[in-house]
Amino acid sequence: MKTLKRILVILAVILLGVNSVFAGGGTRNGTGGASELIIPVGAQGIALGGSGIATATGLDALYWNPAGISGMTNSVAAEFSHMNYIADIGVEYGAVGVNFEGFGIVALDVKSLNIGNIPVTTNDQPDGTGQTFSPEFLVAGATYAKQLTDRISIGLTFHYISETIAQVSASGFAVNAGVQYKDLGDITGLNFGLAINNIGPQMTFGGTGLLVKASPAGSSSTPTDAFLRAPSFYSIEAAAFDLPSSIDVGLGYALSIDDVNALQFSGTFENNNFSGDLYNVGAEYGYNKMLFVRVGYSYSPVDQDADYIYGFTAGAGINYDLGGVTLKVDYAYRSVKYFDANQVFEISFGF
């Protein structure tokens, strides 16, 4: 009971500390940067419509709620996935976790975007110079999670963010924190989850790409006397931007029908500082803890002139024990308005 009280006090302090981050969030829609932070990874969570804040476990929980990886049962686990994102962007992801008995779970993960080559254009050559550049977006994370009691788990993730576009770049860091509580109200199978995501300082772009050649006011481009200065390079000061922070609160309920059939239902409310709030729901059917089928839906009650482009999700997975090695293969589908659907292929190993 004392442990629960401590957790509640810690969560209250965190919520008070980030209150200013979300104040007036509705007036700042579309102003957040580092959008690669909110590109989801984890086929199981995507197939459930992002509703697994209270139910996600193992490495698949890294994106949704870091507290969930405390449920990793393997000594070592690794996960790799590829997602076809919007506008032909590829999202590559990899994670590895190690279970240290008595200490907790330590995990590392990397997410990168493959945008491809973009032609370089100038005012004089608007059709292209013949050169290309490839934007590089990377998020690397380190996570610690621990199961404090048979019901309470906590997790903390530190993310390093790197963005490079041609000759300008920006870097920063963000923190995610989460908690999961099992058997809420002594109801078997009822779980609660809370996650606070992407809390960190503002980021700012810099680099030689922000240099412009100009003459001071009142000067000539071809000075005729010592009082006039020749054109020189000046640096444009880029505006700082906020990270896309969010608070997610979720419930989940696991129902065991018999020895081989099981159902799981989940729902999440997501409050953002960069866009409209989200309501996510999902359901999963499991057969013999080996075959899984999942569906989900994500809804945003935004104004009609600001369409939310995501909606129905679905997926399936196979979990097979090879004798000392656990193999998981998962697939997820997410419908997208105006673009091709997102598709995720993921493979996981546990030892």
pLDDT confidence of residue 217:
64
Q: Tell me how far CA of residue 232 lies from CA of 60, 123, 167, in angstroms.
A: 52, 19, 19
CA-based nearest residue to 267, from 333, 193, 174: 193
Domain with CATH 2.40.160.60 in the chain: 2-24+46-204+239-350
- With a CB cutoff of 8 Å and minimum separation 6, the contacts of 208 are 167, 168
Per-residue pLDDT of the chain (351 residues; tens, 9 = 90+): 555 555 555 555 555 545 444 444 455 666 678 899 999 999 999 999 999 999 999 999 999 999 999 999 899 999 999 999 998 899 999 999 999 988 999 999 999 999 988 888 888 888 888 888 899 999 999 999 999 999 999 999 999 999 999 889 999 999 999 999 999 989 999 999 999 999 999 999 988 888 887 777 655 555 554 455 677 777 888 889 899 999 999 999 999 999 999 999 999 999 988 778 899 999 999 999 999 999 999 998 875 456 788 999 999 999 988 888 899 999 999 999 889 999 999 999 888
Which residues on adjacent β-strands are paired with residue 253?
190, 265
For residue 283, with 0-12 CB atoms within 10 Å meaning exposed, 13-18 middle and 19 or more buried, which class applies? middle
pLDDT at 32: 75
CA–CA distances in Å: residue 14 to residues 2, 25, 69, 105, 277: 19, 18, 21, 22, 20
Residue pair 155/196 in contact (Cβ under 8 Å)? The answer is no
Q: How far is CA 198 from CA 92, 182, 287, in A?
A: 20, 25, 35
Element (H, E) at 44: helix 43-47
Amino acid letter, residue 343: Q
Q: How far apart are CA 255 and CA 170, in angstroms?
A: 46
Predicted confidence at residue 23, as pLDDT, reads: 44
Q: Which amino acid is at 315?
A: G
pLDDT score recorded for residue 207: 87
* Cα end-to-end span (Å), the chain: 34
pLDDT at 306: 64
Task: Reply yes or no on domain 2-24+46-204+239-350 having CATH 2.50.20.10.
Answer: no
Name residues whose C-beta falls within 8 Å of residue 269's C-beta, 6 or more positions apart in sequence.
248, 249, 250, 277, 278, 279, 280
Strands 136-147 and 104-114: antiparallel
Whether residue 26 contacts residue 237, with contact meaning beta carbons closer than 8 Å, is answered with no
pTM of the model: 0.86
